[in-house]
Every structure is written in C-alpha cells, then in structure tokens.
Structure 1
Amino acid sequence: MSRFFGNVCQNGYVVRDIEAALKHWTEVLGVGPFYYIDRVQCDWFTYKGEPSPVEMSIALGNTGDLQIELIQQRNDAPSMYMDFLNAGREGLQHMSYWTQNYQADYDRALAAGYKVGHEGQIGGPQGRFVYFDTETHPGTVIEMSDISGGKGKFFEHIRKAAIGWDGTDPVRPVR
C-alpha cells in the first residue's frame, strides 16, 4: 500500500503481441477471463502535454483483487508505452491506483511534484487517467485512474467474473 496513493489496483504490461500475451496469461498462468478491446476509443490523449493520436488494444482480467492490464500500442504515436518499447523493454510497465476523487488526487500529486507523462480520457469526464513520469526502473510508472463512473462498474464486473472462473471463454471481446 502506498501512503500517497493507497492500494495498487492494477499491474499494466506493455506487450508487442497481445494475442500471445493473452494465451500466456489464460493458458499458462490460468488467469482470466480477459475482456478485450481491440481498438480503444480515447476522447483525448496527450503525451508530455501535446495531443497524440495513440491507437491501442487492451485486455483486462483479474487475479484476485489485482487487475492485470495488457496493452499493445498499434501505431508509433508518442506515448509512455512507445517509450518503454523503444527502450527495448516489454512487460510490467506501470502500477495503477484507482480513485473516486480524481481531480483532488490529481491536483495533490502535481502539488507533491509528480509530472504528467501522458494522460487521457475514455468515455467521458469520469474516465480520466494519468501516467506520472516517475519511472526509476522498469515497472514503476504510476498510473492514477478515475473509477467514479462507468469504468469503476466495468472493473468490478471483471473482478467478479474472475471469481471461480473455470477456464471457459477466456477472451471476451468488448464492443
């Protein structure tokens, strides 16, 4: 638990081949089911304060209360995901903390010296997320995500689906 952000709610893995990663997580590790969004529709996305037309696919599944996010960037637009891949890395890229009080926590983080690496919004104002430019070694980027709206309900659905999952229907497309 972070004294500043609370519990880690998600580990995010940036991968070059999301289908291979899904196979590994579901078949080898037995984690799932995963909810797969082939092309995420961002309302907006910025990298270091500048608009960036990032295109990505994501898959979300749970192991207990910890959500696993798999991310494959589908273009070469500037992002912290692309920075990670261009540095020759693949795998754990961030830890995410979730909040019901996004703007207050965002402002508190900025006041404490955190710098925005990239940020965006999916599905309206209650779908904001930010990645702080704080990486000191792989896997320590900090994401903060607003779960006060529909995203929070979707994340809870994913968590519940993992309870007692029997291995059937391991990848569930989200339209």
Structure 2
Amino acid sequence: MSRIFGEINQMGYVVRDINAEMRRWLAHGIGPWFYAHEVQTDYFTYRGSASPMRMSVALANSGDVQIELIAPRNDAPSLYRDFLESGREGLQHIAYWTEDYQGLYDEVLSLGYEVGHEGSIGGEQGRFAYLDTEATFGHVIEISDVSGPKGQFFRYIRDVAATWDGSEPIRGDVDQLA
C-alpha cells in the first residue's frame, strides 16, 4: 500500500499481438477478456503535445487485480510506442485508481512526478495519466479516474471474473479477432 497512491489496482502489459496474449493468459485460467479493437480516446497527449495514438485494449481480472493488455495500432507518439521500440514487450505499468483524480494528479505533480502521456476515455471521469517513473522503478505508474462509468465497468469486469466458468473467454469486438 502506497501512502501516496493507495493499493495497486492494475498491471498493464504492452504487447504486439493482443490476440495471442489473451489466449496465453486464458491458458493460465485468467479471463474472461473484455476486448476493444479500437479504443476511442477523448484526447491523448504525449509529453504535453497532442498525439493521434490508437490502441486495442483487453481487460480481465485475477482476484482484485485487473490485467490490461494494450497493443498500439499506429506509430503515433506514446509511452507504449517507446516501450515497444526499446525492444521490450510485457509489463509496462502498474495503475492506481482514484475517485479524486484531480486531487491525486495535483499531489503527484507537486511531488515532482512528470507526466509522460495522459488522456481521457469516456469523458471527464475517464481521465488517466502515466507518470514517467520507468528509470526509478523499471515501470511506469498510471493514475486513473474511476469515479464514473469507467469505474463501474472495471467493477463489472472484476465481478464477472469472480464467477467465470470458462465460457465466452473473449467478449467485445470478437468479430475483429484474427
């Protein structure tokens, strides 16, 4: 438990082949996966400048910890692209969720953390920021607003995983899967 951030809520993996990664996690009993082939951000900035980054995302839970798979869909600037271009693939960030996003955001900036990229999905209550902590921790820290619909969706994913019987292992844009 962090005195600043709270408890770790998510482990985020940046991957090249999201379909293969979902299947690999399924082989270990983690699922079901909620998949979106093209996530639409309201806005996205990389190091303070607008970026037209596109990505696919898959979400599942292992207990209370959410597993996120992210596959960039273009070469637009992002920490995801930087991670893959460095020759890596796998765990890229850990995320902390908050219902007081602005308060946590202001606090981490006042403590000297720098934002690598940030954006929003689904409106004002869907904001997220990735703090440039890789040199310190070996991974990035994400803070994410869960005070609105995104938080409700995350709780739904956790609840479905808790009673999952193995059926419908991949849900969402299934017709997009190769």
TM-score range, shorter chain: over 0.9
Aligned to 2:94: 95
1:136 to partner: Cα distance: 2.1
- TM-score, with length taken from structure 1: 0.96
* Alignment-mate amino acid for residue 135 of structure 2: T
Aligned to 1:108: 107
Q: How does 1:14-33 map to 2 (within 5 A)?
A: 14-26=14-26, 28-33=27-32
Structure 1 residue runs of 5 or longer lacking an equivalent are none
Among all aligned residue pairs of Structure 1 and Structure 2, give the percentage whose two residues are the same amino acid: 59
**Kept in 2: contact 1:92–1:139 (CA 8 A):** no
Give SS of 1:39's match.
strand
* Alignment-mate amino acid for residue 88 of structure 2: R
Output the aligned Cα RMSD. 1.3
Distance in 1 separating the partners of 2:135 and 2:93: 11
Aligned to 1:154: 153
1:166 to partner: Cα distance: 1.3
Q: How does 1:38-117 map to 2 (within 5 A)?
A: 38-117=37-116
Distance in 1 separating the partners of 2:20 and 2:152: 28
Aligned to 1:3: 3
Distance in 1 separating the partners of 2:101 and 2:136: 26
When the two structures are aligned, how many residues end up with a matched partner? 174
Distance in 1 separating the partners of 2:152 and 2:173: 14
1:164 to partner: Cα distance: 2.4
| C-alpha distance after superposition, 1:76-113 (max 9, x if no partner) | 00000000000000000000000000001100000000
1:138 to partner: Cα distance: 7.4
Change (3 A) 1:117 1:53: same
1:25 to partner: Cα distance: 0.6
Aligned to 2:165: 166
Change (3 A) 1:32 1:44: same
Change (3 A) 1:90 1:138: farther
Change (3 A) 1:18 1:138: farther
1:139 to partner: Cα distance: 5.2
**Kept in 2: contact 1:12–1:69 (CA 8 A):** yes
- TM-score, with length taken from structure 2: 0.95
Distance in 1 separating the partners of 2:137 and 2:67: 16
| C-alpha distance after superposition, 1:106-141 (max 9, x if no partner) | 000000000000000011100000000111267520
Distance in 2 separating the partners of 1:94 and 1:35: 19
Change (3 A) 1:139 1:160: farther
1:2 to partner: Cα distance: 1.5
Change (3 A) 1:109 1:7: same
